[in-house]
C-alpha cells in the first residue's frame, strides 16, 4: 500500500497517516494496523493449531509403528504355529500309515 498524509482529521486539522487500499480508497493507518494485527493473531492461532496437529500426527505415526511391529510379531507367531501344525500333521499321517501297515501285516 502507498502511504499518504491526510490533512483533514475529522475537524482537528492534524495530519493523519493513511494508506491507499487496492481499490484506491484512503484507509486510515490505524484501521490498517488493527486489521494487520488481527491477521497476525489469526496466523498465530493457526500456527498453534498446526503445531498441535503435527504433534498429534507424530503420536499417530508412533502408534502406527507400534501396531505394525505387533502385527509382524503375531504374523511370525502364526507362521511358526502353521509350520508346527504341518509337521505334527505329517507325523500323525506317517504314524497312521505305519500303524495301518503294521495292522495289515498282522492279518496276513
Say how far apart CA 69 and CA 88 lie, in whole Å.
28
Q: What is the pLDDT of residues 49-76, one digit of tens each?
A: 999 999 999 999 999 999 999 999 999 9
Task: Give the closest residue to 25 by CA, choosing from 7, 6, 9, 39.
Answer: 6
Q: What is the pLDDT of residue 2?
A: 45
| 10-residue mean pLDDT series, the chain (108 residues) | 48 53 62 87 96 95 96 94 90 78 62
Q: What is the pLDDT of residue 57?
A: 95
Between the alpha carbon of residue 62 and those of residues 57, 69, 104, the distances in Å are 9, 11, 62
Count CB atoms within 10 A of the CB of residue 10. 9
Q: What is the pLDDT of residue 70?
A: 96
Q: What is the pLDDT of residue 106?
A: 59
Q: What is the pLDDT of residue 49?
A: 96
As a whole number, the mean pLDDT across the chain is 78
What is the value of pTM for the model shown?
0.44
Q: Which residues of 15-25 are buried (b: 16+ CB within 10 A; e: fewer)?
A: ebebbeeeeee
Amino acid at each position: 500500500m502507498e502511504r499518504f498524509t491526510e490533512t483533514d482529521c475529522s475537524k482537528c486539522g492534524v495530519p493523519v497517516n493513511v494508506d491507499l487500499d487496492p481499490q484506491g480508497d484512503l484507509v486510515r493507518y490505524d484501521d490498517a494496523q488493527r486489521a494487520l494485527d488481527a491477521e497476525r493473531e489469526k496466523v498465530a492461532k493457526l500456527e498453534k493449531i498446526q503445531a498441535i496437529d503435527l504433534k498429534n500426527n507424530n503420536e499417530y505415526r508412533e502408534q502406527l509403528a507400534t501396531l505394525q511391529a505387533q502385527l509382524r510379531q503375531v504374523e511370525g507367531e502364526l507362521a511358526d504355529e502353521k509350520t508346527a501344525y504341518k509337521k505334527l500333521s505329517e507325523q500323525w499321517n506317517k504314524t497312521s500309515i505305519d500303524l495301518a501297515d503294521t495292522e495289515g501285516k498282522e492279518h496276513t
